[in-house]
């Protein structure tokens, strides 16, 4: 599980993925890739001889891995939720949260530093309690299926960076949150309103300041590919975008590409793994899809949904949690919602709320994905078969189940099932040809 969500869940996890990156299409592989070169494959077939350890179309052994990985992920989605719930319950029922507050008050009498040290103690405790499941899921499993290219030290280093970034963002969130709780009856409404500029700030600075802490972003060397990406953006009315290639193979053989930014920070980002394994036409469709999110204002729709969910979650927390606190105040070590020691209880509530609300968030996201698929097909000039091949590679390289169980897709998938998307782009292309588009 991603540890970075722990301190910033009140904001970041309410934002659909498309609101952070204008949506990224993840396309992954099972084995480490060679370093990025200046060329993009001109054929749909990927073989070891073409400079990649991927094999496409899918061989039988890869198909078996896809089935196993998909089944594991279906189970892990539930396991991750219950692990998160258990961790917060441990923090609460052992009285650790109250002790962290008491220790912080002994170190300093100034509120700023009390909050600082409390949140430091809590962040370290959550990191340690989540370490084993995180190590299993994101290191062992990713190595087992050939995704991860990191040593344990590199993986741990990135996790510690994520913890540090989450701590900085989370600390200021907790300061503002508890100032509002202790000052206003309708704190949840003011918090939701105040979240808007914060989320916009995160969307702007994340690709510029945070992402480069983990990877190197360089202007893409492949001139032909760069020109095609810029021309695609210009066609959509986006002028002079930056085009970067990122050394994602440093961490993983998973493949990704995205368009991100607000106002003056518009950038096209291609993972080196994507450059090595996709044709220019396939990349044009993928980036056309990404640009579609931006052009159709999906970022802003995502923010509106985020504000709705924050408001609803805050309102429900304000109504439900005080009663729980009264019944368990001696065990928890705090007696009111405005006590900073109650933060793990609020996080527990948000974790459950997000799990229950997933179908709402994911349903909206899947609708936007379909809209962007159509936009990408129209603006890129690719054929339905080329677009479908990009989705097929998504399934093969990422070990993504193209036909997941209906309940799993409904509850957990923020993208439509790949088989549906493949069928739809082929159908859309036929309709476009008939209408002369």
Handedness of CA 347, 351, 353, 357 (dihedral sign): positive
Residue 1 in any domain: the answer is no
Residue 4 in any domain: the answer is no
Residue 64 has a pLDDT of 87
Residue 236 has a pLDDT of 93
Element (H, E) at 250: none
Q: How many CB atoms lie within 10 A of CB 205?
A: 12
Residue 3 in any domain: the answer is no
Residue 9 tokens read as: 């869940």
Residue 341 in any domain: the answer is yes
Residue 209 in any domain: the answer is yes
Residue 437 has a pLDDT of 59
Residue 276 has a pLDDT of 87
Per-residue pLDDT of the chain (437 residues; tens, 9 = 90+): 333 333 344 444 333 333 333 334 433 333 322 323 333 333 345 554 444 455 677 788 878 888 899 999 999 999 999 999 999 999 999 999 999 999 999 999 999 999 999 999 999 999 999 999 999 999 999 999 888 889 999 999 999 999 999 899 899 999 999 999 999 999 999 999 998 888 888 888 888 888 899 999 999 999 999 999 999 999 999 988 999 999 988 988 888 888 887 766 788 999 988 888 899 999 999 999 999 999 999 988 988 898 999 999 999 999 999 999 999 999 999 999 999 999 999 999 999 999 999 999 999 999 999 999 999 999 999 999 999 999 988 788 778 888 999 999 999 999 999 999 999 999 999 998 887 65
Handedness of CA 201, 204, 205, 210 (dihedral sign): positive
Residue 46 has a pLDDT of 53
Q: How many CB atoms lie within 10 A of CB 201?
A: 12
**CA-closest candidate to residue 212, choices 260, 246, 164, 170:** 246
Residue 54 has a pLDDT of 58
Residue 251 in any domain: the answer is yes
3-state secondary structure at position 204: helix
* Phi-psi category of residue 55: left, alpha or beta, with phi > 0 → left and psi -120 to 50 → alpha: beta
Residue 74 in any domain: the answer is yes
| Cβ–Cβ < 8 Å for 364, 16 | yes
Residue 367 in any domain: the answer is yes
Range of the domain at 368: 10-435
Number of domains in the chain: 1
Residue 290 annotated in active site: yes
Annotated catalytic residue, options 290, 386, 409, 423: 290
Cα dihedral value 114, 120, 121, 127, nearest 10: 160
Residue 203 has a pLDDT of 80
Residue 60 has a pLDDT of 82
* Phi-psi category of residue 260: left, alpha or beta, with phi > 0 → left and psi -120 to 50 → alpha: beta
Residue 34 has a pLDDT of 30
Residue 290 has a pLDDT of 93
**CA-closest candidate to residue 345, choices 94, 163, 89:** 89
């Amino acid at each position: 599980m991603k540890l970075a969500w722990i301190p910033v869940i009140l904001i970041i996890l309410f934002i659909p993925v498309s609101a952070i990156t204008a949506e990224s299409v993840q396309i992954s592989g099972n084995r480490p890739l060679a370093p990025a070169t200046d060329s993009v494959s001109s054929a749909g077939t990927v073989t070891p001889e073409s400079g990649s350890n991927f094999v496409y179309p899918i061989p039988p052994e890869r198909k078996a891995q896809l089935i196993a990985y998909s089944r594991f992920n279906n189970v892990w989605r539930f396991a991750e939720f219950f692990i998160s719930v258990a961790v917060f319950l441990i923090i609460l029922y052992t009285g650790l949260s109250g002790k962290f507050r008491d220790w912080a008050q002994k170190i300093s009498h100034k509120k700023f530093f009390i909050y600082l040290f409390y949140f430091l103690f809590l962040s370290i405790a959550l990191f340690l309690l989540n370490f084993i499941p995180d190590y299993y899921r994101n290191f062992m499993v990713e190595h087992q299926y050939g995704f991860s290219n990191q040593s344990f030290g590199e993986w741990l280093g990135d996790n510690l960076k994520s913890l540090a970034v989450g701590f900085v963002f989370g600390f200021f969130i907790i300061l503002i949150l508890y100032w509002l709780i202790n000052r206003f009856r309708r704190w949840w409404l003011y918090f939701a309103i105040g979240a808007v500029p914060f989320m916009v700030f995160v969307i702007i600075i994340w690709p510029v300041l945070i992402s480069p802490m983990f990877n190197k972003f360089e202007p893409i060397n492949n001139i032909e590919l760069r020109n095609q990406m810029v021309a695609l953006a210009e066609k959509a009315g986006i002028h002079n975008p930056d085009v970067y290639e990122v050394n994602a193979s440093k961490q993983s053989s998973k493949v990704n590409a995205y368009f991100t930014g607000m106002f003056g920070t518009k950038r096209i980002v291609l993972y080196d793994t994507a450059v090595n394994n996709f044709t220019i036409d396939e990349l044009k469709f993928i980036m056309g899809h990404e640009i579609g999110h931006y052009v159709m204002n999906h970022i802003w729709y995502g923010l509106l949904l985020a504000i709705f969910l924050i408001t609803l979650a805050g309102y429900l927390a304000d109504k439900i949690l005080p009663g729980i606190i009264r019944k368990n105040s001696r065990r928890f070590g705090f007696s009111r919602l405005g006590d900073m020691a109650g933060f793990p209880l609020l996080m527990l509530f948000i974790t459950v709320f997000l799990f229950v609300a997933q179908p709402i968030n994911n349903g909206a996201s899947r609708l936007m994905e379909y809209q962007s698929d159509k936009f990408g097909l129209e603006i890129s000039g690719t054929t339905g078969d080329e677009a479908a091949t990009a989705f097929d590679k998504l399934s093969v390289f990422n070990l993504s189940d193209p036909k997941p169980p209906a309940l799993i897709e409904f509850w957990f998938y923020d993208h439509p099932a790949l088989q549906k998307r493949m069928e739809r782009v082929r159908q859309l292309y036929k309709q476009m040809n008939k209408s002369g588009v």
